[in-house]
Amino acid sequence: MGLQYMDPDGKEEELPKGVQYYSSRREMPKRIQKYWSQRHDLFSLYDEGIWLTDDAWFGVTPEVVAGQMAQDIGEHVSGQKTVIIDCFAGAGGNAIAFALSERWDRIFAIEKDPAALACAKHNAMIYGVDKKIFWIEGDCFTEIKKRFKGCGMEKDAVIFASPPWGGPEYAGDEIFDLSKMEPYSLDHLYQSFSKLTKEVVLYLPRTSDLNQLAEYAPKNRKLDVIHYNMSDYSKGLCAYFGGFQFG
């Protein structure tokens, strides 16, 4: 029998393999206990029964940050762009924010980890937006080629990606080398996604090497890079490739 979960209404159900709902700090593995105090920053509705994998505690975008990014992406790209593809959906923080923004006709959330995808679907249901998102289990690079390339979506789509940064250890780097980001380097991400659309947004570590990002700036233009803060502390930055207009 798997782990049992009791939702806020008192209904008991079995959690999918790899999925957790912690109701106290002491239930958590020691390596992630320090994130317990951030649970309502990650999801304001955490107490309603938010599911997370253990890795999602340090991988999910905080709700306020996800909401601001969703607003910025929607406001500063052409109105012709009506489809957004979240390539590393994880536990669903960004996909939920895109759905709550009501900016997009279609939202696709791709995630290869079945446990994380189960979390994302469940969490989106808690926020009332699960039916607004198309869920895809698989490798985002493969799925983009298979499902989207050559189907005329290039003119409509924006790709958003919050790729793995290599775990919490990245924070020890004064300047983060994006060519060594694991398991996907900056160049791999950009080259892969820009084959579908030029409008690509990458959410990256706050210490990312800006000189490396500048190499991808359009001719005679600067690349827009925005830090997203909580309590005056940068949680990360977004690099906006393609036709975004920030003025």
Predicted local distance difference test score (pLDDT) of residue 2:
47
Q: How confident is the model at residue 8 (pLDDT cuts 50, 70, 90)?
A: low
Predicted local distance difference test score (pLDDT) of residue 169:
63
- In the numeric block, the tokens 């951030």 are attached to 38
User: Which residues lie closer than 8 Å to 64 by C-beta, 6 or more apart?
Assistant: 41, 230
Average pLDDT over residues 123-143: 98
For the cut 70, the answer to whether the pLDDT of residue 11 exceeds it is no
Domain boundaries, the chain: 63-241
Tokens of 140: 């985002």
pTM: 0.93
- In the numeric block, the tokens 């340090």 are attached to 58
DSSP alpha helices (H): ranges in 11-62? 39-42, 56-59
What span, in angstroms and rounded, lies between the C-alpha atoms of 54 and 93? 15
Q: How confident is the model at residue 9 (pLDDT cuts 50, 70, 90)?
A: low
3-class secondary-structure state, position 19: coil
Burial of 69 (0-12, 13-18, 19+ CB in 10 A): buried
C-alpha distances (whole Å) from 115 to each of 7, 90, 182, 234 are 18, 9, 21, 28
Tokens of 150: 């050559």
The continuous run of DSSP H or E covering 97 comes out as: helix 93-101
What span, in angstroms and rounded, lies between the C-alpha atoms of 38 and 44? 10
For residue range 63-102, list pLDDT tens digits in order.
Answer: 999 999 999 999 999 999 999 999 999 999 999 999 999 9
For residue range 208-217, list pLDDT tens digits in order.
Answer: 999 999 999 9
For the cut 90, the answer to whether the pLDDT of residue 104 exceeds it is yes
What's the mean pLDDT when you consider all of the chain? 94
The CATH code belonging to domain 63-241 is 3.40.50.150
What span, in angstroms and rounded, lies between the C-alpha atoms of 176 and 22? 32
